[in-house]
Amino acid sequence: MLQDVRFVPFESHLESLQKPIAQRPWFSDRLSKPSPRRYASTSNAQKPPPLQDPTPLPKPPVAGRQRAAGLRSTETYVAYGITKKLFEACSAQADYKIPQISERGAEIPKTANGEDLGVGEGWWYEELGLLPTFSSWSQVTFLHMYLITVRLRALPSPESFQTFSRHLFDHFSNNAEDRMDVMHGITSRSIRVKYLKDLFLQWRGVLAAYDEGLVKGDAVLAAAVWRNLYKGSYTDVQGRGEDIDWSKIAQIVLYMRKVLGELAPLEGDDYGTCGWRGEGHI
């Protein structure tokens, strides 16, 4: 078996070992062959592109929203001031006083229905025969608030209408509660809140009744005035029932139509300057 073994002289290997690595015969062969290792070299590997900032998402219209919110906030303040002036004009039409509140122990006169009877002047009391009571004041004020509300419905947006109408009724509620406390001696907060809820329901009824009258004609509007202002019956200070003079109802209907016609051309900036002079006239 040994005779088949081929011996290579060691001197030749020794000579190759004494050469630099780059000049050794097997080194050039090794360079010409690809490396069997997968990750032997990364010099020729494709480099990933450099990281870039992600494409920014479209910015929401924050400025637009802030501008709209600012306009709404500004409108709220404007609406508060304008509706305060409007309410004061509405409230003054059938204002009344109770002189006895300044006299300690003085008894306040009552109507046949048990309402506190005050002292009032002007068209609504002297010519139309309403009694100067809280109820008459609230219904006459509601009537004028309704006329304002009809005009407010022509505002550019439903949001604007809601803002103005809410402030208008808030002014009424604050004034009505103050009258209950100061003029009528209702010191209980819970009782005043109960009455205010009733007044809110009355206000909703006034809106529906007068709207129906404007649509269906003067006869229906006159019936609504009869129910709300005169409570469907007429009694004098002594509580005696009398037949209502329907010419007075006709005057009120004519007055409402006239006021609506005069309010129609007003712009938003003119709301704060309009007002009633009294005696059924603007």
For residue 252 the two structure tokens come to 């009120």
Least confident of 19-33, 126-140, 194-208, 235-249: 19-33
Report the pLDDT value the prediction gives residue 178, as an integer from 0 to 100.
96
> pLDDT value at position 102?
79
Classify residue 157 as left (phi > 0), alpha (psi -120 to 50) or beta.
Answer: beta
Predicted confidence band of residue 100 (pLDDT cuts 50, 70, 90): confident
- For 43, list phi and psi in degrees, rounded to 5: -65, -35
pLDDT band at 204; cut points 50, 70, 90 = very high
Q: What pLDDT digit, counting tens, does each position of 33-85 carry?
A: 555 555 445 555 566 677 666 666 665 555 445 454 444 567 778 889 999 99
**DSSP run (H or E) holding 202:** helix 189-216
| Other CB atoms within 10 Å distance of the CB of residue 213 | 19
Rounded to two decimals, the pTM is 0.70
Cα distance between residue 144 and residue 146, in whole Å: 5
Residue 281: pLDDT band by 50, 70, 90 thresholds? very low
> Could you give the CA distance from residue 88 to residue 94 in angstroms, rounded to a whole number?
11
pLDDT of residue 75: 74
Please, which pLDDT band fits residue 18 given cuts at 50, 70 and 90? low
Burial (CB count within 10 angstroms: exposed 0-12, middle 13-18, buried 19+), residue 178: exposed
Distances (CA, A) of 127 to 92, 162, 252: 16, 35, 11
Average pLDDT in the chain:
79
- Tens of pLDDT, residue by residue over 138-188, are 999 999 999 999 999 998 889 989 999 999 999 999 999 999 999 999 999
Name the one residue in this structure whose structure tokens are 């006299």.
103
Give the mean model confidence (pLDDT) for residues 12-38: 56
How confident is residue 249, by pLDDT bands cut at 50, 70 and 90?
A: very high
130 touches 226 (CB < 8 A): no
CB-based contact 175:84 (threshold 8 Å): no
Phi, psi of 276 (to 5 degrees): -95, 135
Q: Using CA atoms, how far apart are residues 224 and 232, in angstroms rounded to an integer?
A: 9
Radius of gyration of the chain (CA): 46
- The residue assigned the tokens 């229905």 is 113
Q: Which residue has the higher pLDDT, 43 or 118?
A: 118
Q: What is the pLDDT of residue 106?
A: 81
| CB contact at 8 A, 234 and 242 | yes
Over the range 152-175, which residues count as b (16 or more CB within 10 Å of their CB) and which as e? beebeeeebbebbbebbbebbeeb
